[in-house]
Amino acid sequence: MSSGAAKGWRVPPPPPADYIAWPPSFGRRFMVFVDTEEEFDWSAPFRRDAIAVEAITALPDMHRRLADHGVAPCYLCDYPVATSAAAIDTLRGLIADGRSTIGAQLHPWVNPPHDEAPSGWASFAGNLDPALVAAKVDQLTAAITAAFGAQPLAFRTGRYGLGPGMPALLAARGYRVETSMRALHDYSAAGGPDFSAIGSAAFRLAPEGLIEVPLTTRYIGALRRGGGALHRLAGRIPRGRGVMARTGLLSRVPLSPEGVSFGEAAAAVREAVAAGERLLTFSFHSPSLVPGNTPYVRDAAGLARFHGWWDDMLALLEQMEVRPVSLTELIAAADDAAPRGQHRRSGTECPSDRGGQGR
C-alpha cells in the first residue's frame, strides 16, 4: 500500500475507545523529545551532503539543565547522528543516567538507501515508495541499535511526514511509541499529511497498537473555542492569523521554545491542564543549541532567550504539579492503562472530551 501523504492524507481522529486512559497514579506528566539531527540550511534545497552534527557538543549542557528538574529527554536520533562516533560518544554519556533514552528520527534525504532524488516532496517519508521507506527505517534502526546497544522504541518522521502505511511498518520492527503527529497542524500544502483533526491526547494506532504521542498544541485567546474553524478562516485572509495572534484573539501554540514566546506557551499549558490533558509533550531541535543553525536561535541573545524559556517553563510546570515522565515510564503507564473503552464504561471522560481537539 502506498503511504500516500502527497495524495492528501488527512489523518482521521481516533475512535474514542482508542484514547489512552492513563492510570490514576500517572497524574499529570510532561515529556521532552529532542529532534537530534544534523545542521542544515532550512531555507535551502535538501542536500545529501549536509550531515555535520557539531551542535551535538552543546547537548550535555542542555541535558544538565533539564536533568536538574528531573527531566529525562528522549533523543530522537537521525542517521547522521547515529553514525557519528563523536555524537554517539556524547549521547552515550547522556543516557548513562538510566532514564533518558534514544529514539529514532527519519530524515529521508540523508538516510540510505538513496534511491530517490532529494526534494521537498520527497522529504516527507510518507510520499516515498513503501519498500524504500522500509529500507530506510531498517538502516536507521540498525545504526542506532549498533551505536547504543538497544533497539529504539520511539520514532519520529522528520518534517512530521508520516504516511498511513508506516505505523504497521514500525510496529513490525519493535517500535512502541510513534510521535510524528503535530496536533492541529496541516502540511498538505507542501505535500505532507494533515493532522488538523488530531488533538493532543495520546492514543493507540489500531490495529498496530502503537502508542501515538502527538506534539501538544493548543488554541489560546479570546476566540479559542472557535479553534480550527476560525484558524483556517483567518488563514484565508492576508496576515489574518498574525493579526488575530497579536490582538489576543486566537493563536495556535505548540509546546516548543522555537518560535513560541514563553507567554504563549504558558497560556497553552494552562489551557491544556484546565481541559484535563494528562500528558503534555515538548519538543525542540538539537541544532538550535548553537546560534545560527536554525531560524529560532540566530545569536547569543537568542540562545539566552531559549534557555530562559526553559527556566520559566520548568518552574511553571513544577508550580502546576505537572511532573516529568521518561519514555520507559510512559510506555509502562500506557501498558497499565485501562482496556480500550473502559474509560467510557466507567464514566471517566476521554481526554478529547474536554479539549483534546484543542478547542
Q: Identify the pLDDT of residue 351.
A: 39
**What pLDDT does residue 206 have?**
81
Considering only CA atoms, which of 33, 73, 14 is closest in space to residue 340? 14
**DSSP track, 227-270:** HHHHHHHHHTSTTHHHHHHHTTS-EEEES-SSS--HHHHHHHHH
**pLDDT value at residue 336:** 93
CATH 3.20.20.370 fits 25-216+279-342, yes or no: yes
pLDDT score for 346:
33
Partner residues linked to 157 by β-bridges: 106
Mark the ranges of the chain whose per-residue pLDDT is less than 50: 1-6, 341-359
Beta strands 154-157 and 177-178 are: parallel
Hey, where are the domains in the chain?
25-216+279-342
What is 262-316 written as a DSSP string? HHHHHHHHHHHHHTT-SEEEEEEEGGGGSTTSBTTB-SHHHHHHHHHHHHHHHHH
Radius of gyration of the chain (CA): 19
Q: Which three cell numbers stand for residue 219?
A: 488554541
